[in-house]
Amino acid sequence: MVQQTLDTPTELFRFQLRTALTMENDSLAALGDLAGAAKSAEVKKLFRHHADETREQIANLDAIFAELDYRKSTAPSPSTKGISKQAASLLERGAPKLRDQIAVSCALGNEHYEISAYQALILPAQAMGLPDVVRLLTANLDQETHTSEELRKTLEKIVG
């Protein structure tokens, strides 16, 4: 059940943490779809590698739930659902020769959303004095930032 009112910074943090779990699960599903849609072996490999990292990020989020003694649950993530719908729409409309470009550019947009989600979690975790939580969130942020750069470089090669 979705909490209707968020009255405290802790309630907001918990809700955003639950949303991050949904975000990563949505991303994992989308990465499978994007890998299937990609044409080149390089792009497929990039998505498979990021799927492995996404599983690590989910494990980090699971560890945070355990650390904070929160029941593991998810909350809606309309943004990631929308990004996935946009990718599916573009892949459906795009010519086969554009599949890699579409897949990589959509994944890049998703990475930027994930980066901002982790940044928005790290700051309150720091303010709440949760160093272990900050460490795990920062590990996820670092992976997302690295993946964003890999995707940008791959897209540059595709369009260049």
Structural tokens at position 37? 């849609």
Indicate the SS3 state at residue 153: helix
Q: Are 94 and 102 in contact (CB under 8 A)?
A: yes
Q: What is the residue type of 50?
A: H
Confidence at residue 11, expressed as pLDDT on a 0 to 100 scale: 95
Q: Are 122 and 17 in contact (CB under 8 A)?
A: no
Average pLDDT over residues 11-16: 96
How confident is the model over 15-29, as pLDDT tens digits? Answer: 999 999 999 999 999
**How many separate helices (H) and strands (E) can be counted in the chain?**
5, 0
- The Cα 135–Cα 83 span in angstroms is 27
* Whether the model pTM is above 0.75: yes
How confident is the model over 135-155, as pLDDT tens digits? Answer: 999 999 999 999 999 999 999
Cα 111 → chain centroid = 6
Average pLDDT over residues 101-106: 96
Q: What is the residue type of 45?
A: K
Kindly indicate the confidence band of residue 134, based on its pLDDT and cuts at 50, 70 and 90: very high
User: What domains sit in the chain, N to C, each tagged with a CATH number?
Assistant: 9-159 (1.20.1260.10)
How confident is the model over 68-91, as pLDDT tens digits? Answer: 999 999 998 999 999 999 999 999
Planar angle of CA 68, 70, 71, nearest 5 degrees? 155
Average pLDDT over residues 91-98: 94
